[in-house]
Structure 1
Amino acid sequence: MNILITGATSGIGEQLAIKYAKQGNTVIACGRNLEKLSELEKHTNIKACQFDATDLADIKQATLGFPAFDKVILNAGNCEYVDDARNFDSALFERVISVNLLAMGYCLEALLPKISSGGQLVLVSSSVTYLPLPRSEAYGASKAGVSYLAKSLAIDLNDVDVTLVHPGFVKTPLTDKNDFPMPMAVTAEQAADYMLKGINKRRKEVHFPYRFTLFLKALRILPLPLWLRLAKGLTR
């Protein structure tokens, strides 16, 4: 299979690229870090593709000569937290929305026409979308947009399967900066294994680790005022 993966220069994306390549697939590993992409190309079956996911023209130019893809996995993302909601930082909000949500739209315009009929589109969101959490105004809003986008595409795309991924906490360079506990966190390699299993089964939603994500899903039955009181307690 021909598989394109964005955000492949670190974390989950990197592990997915390596694992799919080891299975004999041709993997197009995408990202901005040319040095890291060059390292990935040392693996058999991995080809590097450098572009900025927030630049539509750059994506189209970089992927111009590629053949049809069996799977496109849109995994690139970023996280910044809002530390002072009273003095809202709109520049931070714009940065996160741009990388996590608008870039999805650019990638879809450039790459959806390249997915073979009967192929698969994978959008990586986050379990943060299950409940409003402290300091997550920007990150949560962006990932909620991704989740809604994936669910709508699953309705409107007739010849492409859509899989939505909701990871819990994953130990990556992105989460290394987190200054709070990450319950039931998994490694990037473990996360990639969860995703591979679910994606290959063409599940509509892949979420992990199950004990954590099921717990969050269960909490959604709480009345919103009660959850808000509980969530405020997390910040004290």
Structure 2
Amino acid sequence: MLPRRDARIWIIGASAGIGAALARALAAEGARLVLSARDAQALEALAQDCPGARALPLDLARPGALAEAVADLAASFDAVICTAALYEPGPVAELDPAQAELLVRVNLLGTLEVARLCPPLLRPGGQLVLFGSVAGYFGLPGGQAYSATKAAVNNLAETLRVELAPRVDVRLVCPGFVRTRLTARNRFRMPGLITPEEAARHTLRGLRGRQFEIHFPKRLTLAMKLLRLLPYALSLRLTARLLR
């Protein structure tokens, strides 16, 4: 269970959105933070808001970058939290192949690297927190590449929960729609839209509990879980309406 004070935490994907909100919330509680993201300038500005935080720029898309960062850090973290992700909405036929490859490299391969390299940094019972998404529950029109990578992250966390137990406490966070620069690109109504600060509160509350999956807001996530349980003949008919 995540301690409230003096926790040593590495947040990967910290420069904006949920990652930045988590950093500010944890810093207010006295956590000792290492903050990583691609945007070094935004990272430094965030570190100024988080007393004692260390900015460690990191691009998960660059091969070997995570290994270099891990080698630069001492062990005994209470948690490693990976929120890093790219998002490229649109139909499959309109995807830019280079952008799609970059998205897969960050969202999936980057998360795999976190799962491979970061557990030795954790104290016994420390938390490895991976951010999947409600978008990974069921394939929805318009976000195929992103949704596919998040479905893979959800699956990865499920396997790691068993594979790394009991030394590592693996948690999966599946947010719904959160108001960030990524979701600002959506051109449809986003049900249950919440702020990054609300998402951070839900996440921290869950990490201090015992549940494996932390998902929010429930009015959206429970509906999506139900959709996943329906026969395809019905669920695909329902999702087809989103195209109209």
Q: How many residues align?
A: 235
Residue from 94, 100, 103 that aligns with 2:101: 94
SS at match of 1:171: coil
User: Any idea what the Cα deviations from partners look like across 1:149-196, whole Å, max 9, x if unmatched?
Assistant: 000000111200110011000001111111111011000000000001
SS at match of 2:219: helix
User: Any idea what the Cα deviations from partners look like across 1:10-49, whole Å, max 9, x if unmatched?
Assistant: 0000000111111111011110111111112212132111
The CA distance in 2 between the partners of 1:29 and 1:87, in whole Å, is 34
Query: Which residue is equivalent to 2:35?
Result: 29
User: Any idea what the Cα deviations from partners look like across 1:29-84, whole Å, max 9, x if unmatched?
Assistant: 1101111111122121321110111224222223323222110001100111232x
Aligned amino acid, residue 13 of structure 1: G
The CA distance in 2 between the partners of 1:105 and 1:160, in whole Å, is 15
Query: Which residue is equivalent to 2:121?
Result: 114
The CA distance in 2 between the partners of 1:142 and 1:111, in whole Å, is 20
Moved over 4 A (4+): 86-89
Query: Which residue is equivalent to 2:163?
Result: 156
Query: Which residue is equivalent to 1:58?
Result: 65
Aligned amino acid, residue 206 of structure 1: I
1:87 CA displacement: 6.3
1:214 aligned to 2:222? Answer: yes
The CA distance in 2 between the partners of 1:78 and 1:170, in whole Å, is 14
Aligned amino acid, residue 192 of structure 2: M
Query: Which residue is equivalent to 2:3?
Result: none
The CA distance in 2 between the partners of 1:129 and 1:188, in whole Å, is 19
Q: Do the aligned residues in 2 keep the contact of 1:166 with 1:208 (CA within 8 Å)?
A: yes
TM normalised by structure 2 equals 0.91
1:78 aligned to 2:61? Answer: no
1:67 aligned to 2:70? Answer: no
User: Any idea what the Cα deviations from partners look like across 1:114-163, whole Å, max 9, x if unmatched?
Assistant: 11111110000000122210022211110011011000000111200110
The CA distance in 2 between the partners of 1:9 and 1:32, in whole Å, is 8
SS at match of 1:150: helix
With 91-100 and 211-220 compared, the bigger mean Cα shift is at: 91-100
1:232 CA displacement: 1.4
The CA distance in 1 between the partners of 2:93 and 2:38, in whole Å, is 34
The CA distance in 1 between the partners of 2:68 and 2:16, in whole Å, is 23
1:204 aligned to 2:212? Answer: yes
Aligned amino acid, residue 137 of structure 1: Q
The CA distance in 1 between the partners of 2:56 and 2:144, in whole Å, is 32
The CA distance in 2 between the partners of 1:38 and 1:220, in whole Å, is 41
SS at match of 1:63: helix
Alignment of structure 1 residues 166-185 onto 2, 5 Å: 166-185=174-193
Which consecutive unaligned segments of at least 5 residues does structure 2 have?
A: 1-6
1:104 CA displacement: 0.8
Q: Do the aligned residues in 1 keep the contact of 2:132 with 2:175 (CA within 8 Å)?
A: yes
The CA distance in 1 between the partners of 2:67 and 2:100, in whole Å, is 26
CA 1:40–1:86: 2 relative to 1, 3 Å: closer
